[in-house]
Amino acid sequence: MTKSPGLLTIDEITGAWAMLPSPATPNGWDWRETDTVDVDEVARATEAMISSGIDGLMGMGTLGECCTMTREERRKFMSTAIDTAAGRVPFIAGATSLGTRDTIEMAREASDMGANGVLLGLPMWCPADTSMAVSYFRDVAEACPDTTIFIYANFAAFRYTWPPAFWAQMADIPQVRGVKYAAGANNRLVNDLNASRGNIRFLVMDMEYYMSARIDPDAMKAFWSSGAACGPEVATHLRDLVEGAKASGDWSKAKEFSDRIAPSMATLFPRGQHTEFAKYNVGLEKERINAGGWMNVGPARPPHHLTPEEYLEGARTSGRIWAQIAEEITAAG
């Protein structure tokens, strides 16, 4: 058993963090198959992400198919990614479940295996109110005192609004150090940052990083990217441009590049609707990544392997756009 690496500090949560998919074997779409993790591709992608300059990895979220892998498959994925990373960058493992006790069991297991922390949404059976949400994270923190917690603040998946009152109470929990966040309206980000009192690192998605860093350059020092699995060079280039802009005060190149990658997101959302994307999130993201060609993530596991073809074509376009930008960055040296 590996000893937990201990709590991350907020200053260790910076830069470009890649969402690491859970690659499936070709038969991964079939419910009869129970050993579907492509461990060779997990190891290759983990190593390549780190070699490309990615600052941190998060696995077994939505894209990571936390809800469709068996417990043994989750262990296999985690052990491969953790062993390959070998402490060179932080690895955060998803441990969301339907209840507090099961989440605690999985969080302890991830920590014992050497994960630097856990990515936790809310139990998904009944929508939580703020008292339930706060109690849930407090209980996990009490049970796992040496485990860093990243909150997975997904509106659609967990049917919760994540209000400032929630963040104000999370700021009092020492284990809560990061949040996978979608900025959306600017005022919401400002209010949530203020409520957290600088105790939590908010990681927005890549497409929102430029805008968020302009709002609060000192607080916004990290972002998450599922697109990194289509070519991590795009994410690290965005990181470097924003850091350069913070130092120089000239944000023009960072804005230009952020605008350049925006079209890759537009085609990922069917009919431009987030509600449609949320229905087919896993299938669309995996199709996007396979089309990007940097990583072979195989099929989505059941029941998420069924996605309308017209939606899949938009995902493929998204992956190809991202991959083209990555190729241009590499060619430019």
Name the token pair of 143: 């049970």
Q: Residue type for 129, please?
A: D
Non-local (6+) Cβ contacts of 33 within 8 A are: 25, 27
Q: How far apart are CA 248 and CA 221, in angstroms?
A: 16
Helix or strand or coil: residue 66?
Answer: coil
Name the token pair of 19: 């969402």
Q: Is 42 exposed, middle or buried (0-12, 13-18, 19+ CB in 10 A)?
A: buried
Tell me which of 180, 181, 221, 286 is the catalytic residue: 180
Task: Kindly provide the b/e burial profile for residues 92-104, where b requires at least 16 CB atoms within 10 angstroms of the residue's own CB.
Answer: bbbbbbeebeebb
Q: Is 24 exposed, middle or buried (0-12, 13-18, 19+ CB in 10 A)?
A: buried
Active site residue 152: yes
Is the four-CA dihedral 68, 72, 73, 78 of positive or negative sign? Answer: positive
Non-local (6+) Cβ contacts of 313 within 8 A are: none
Tell me which of 76, 136, 152, 160 is the catalytic residue: 152
Active site residue 3: no
Contacts 24+ apart (CB under 8 A), 217-223: 217/246, 219/193, 221/13, 221/14, 221/15, 222/13, 222/14, 222/15, 222/16, 222/17, 222/55, 222/56, 222/178, 223/16, 223/17
Q: How far apart are CA 22 and CA 42, in angstroms?
A: 7
Active site residues: 152, 180
